[in-house]
A and B are shown apart, each in its own frame.
Chain A
Amino acid sequence: MPIQIEIISPEKVLVSREVDMVVMPGAEGDIAAMPERAPMMLLLRGGVVSLYENDAVTDRFFVGGGFADMTATRCTILADKAEPVSEISIDNATAALEALTEAWDKADKTDISRLDVLQDKILSVRAEIEAGSSAS
Chain B
Amino acid sequence: MASLKELRARIGSIKSTRKITSAMKMVAAAKLRRAQASAEAARPYAAAMRRMLGELAAATKGEEGAPRLLAGTGQDKVHLLIPITSDRGLCGGFNSNVHRLTLQTINKLQAEGKTVKLLPVGRRALNFFNREHADLIVDKVIGFSGKDVPFSVASGLGDKVNALLEAGEIDVCTLVFNKFQNAMTQTPACLQLVPMVMDDAAAKADAASTTADDAAQYEFEPDEATLLAMLLPRNLQVQIYASLLETAAGENGARMTAMDNATRNAGRTIDSLSKVYNRTRQTNITNELIEIISGAQAV
Q: Name A's B-contacting residues (CB within 8 A).
A: 6, 8-13, 26-28, 31, 38-43, 67, 69, 71-74, 76, 78, 80
B44 A69 Cβ-Cβ under 8 A: no
A42 vs B214: C-alpha distance when bound (angstroms): 15
B221 A26 Cβ-Cβ under 8 A: yes
Closest B-chain residue to A78, C-beta based? B48
Complex interface: chain A residues within 8 A of B154 (CB): 10
Known: A41-B227, A43-B226. A11 touches B42 (CB 8 A): yes
Complex interface: chain B residues within 8 A of A69 (CB): 48, 51-52, 55
Closest B-chain residue to A76, C-beta based? B48
Closest B-chain residue to A40, C-beta based? B219
A41 B48 Cβ-Cβ under 8 A: no
Q: What is the minimal beta-carbon distance from B219 to any residue of chain A, in angstroms?
A: 4
Closest B-chain residue to A80, C-beta based? B234
Complex interface: chain B residues within 8 A of A13 (CB): 41, 44-45
0/1 interface trace, chain B 215-230, chain A, CB 8 Å (1 if under):
0111111100011001
A8 vs B52: C-alpha distance when bound (angstroms): 13
Q: What is the minimal beta-carbon distance from A81 to any residue of chain B, in angstroms?
A: 8
The size of the chain B interface, using a CB distance under 8 A, is 31
Q: What is the minimal beta-carbon distance from A66 to any residue of chain B, in angstroms?
A: 8
The A-B contact count (CB < 8 A) is: 79
Known: A12-B41, A41-B55, A78-B45. A67 touches B230 (CB 8 A): yes
B56 A41 Cβ-Cβ under 8 A: yes
Closest A-chain residue to B56, C-beta based? A41
Closest A-chain residue to B47, C-beta based? A8
B216 A38 Cβ-Cβ under 8 A: yes
B231 part of interface (Cβ distance < 8 Å): yes
Q: What is the minimal beta-carbon distance from A118 to any residue of chain B, in angstroms?
A: 14
B64 part of interface (Cβ distance < 8 Å): no
Complex interface: chain B residues within 8 A of A31 (CB): 221
Closest A-chain residue to B51, C-beta based? A69
A80 vs B43: C-alpha distance when bound (angstroms): 15
Complex interface: chain B residues within 8 A of A6 (CB): 44, 48
Indicate the member of A8, A27, A40, A72 with the most B CB atoms within 10 Å.
Answer: A8
Known: A40-B219, A40-B220. A71 touches B213 (CB 8 A): yes
Q: What is the minimal beta-carbon distance from B59 to any residue of chain A, in angstroms?
A: 9
Known: A10-B151, A41-B227. A67 touches B41 (CB 8 A): no
B241 part of interface (Cβ distance < 8 Å): yes
B96 part of interface (Cβ distance < 8 Å): no
- Besides A40-B218, A40-B221, 5 more A-B contacts (Cβ < 8 Å) are A10-B42, A38-B219, A41-B52, A41-B227, A43-B221
A78 B216 Cβ-Cβ under 8 A: no
Known: A26-B221, A39-B218. A8 touches B213 (CB 8 A): no
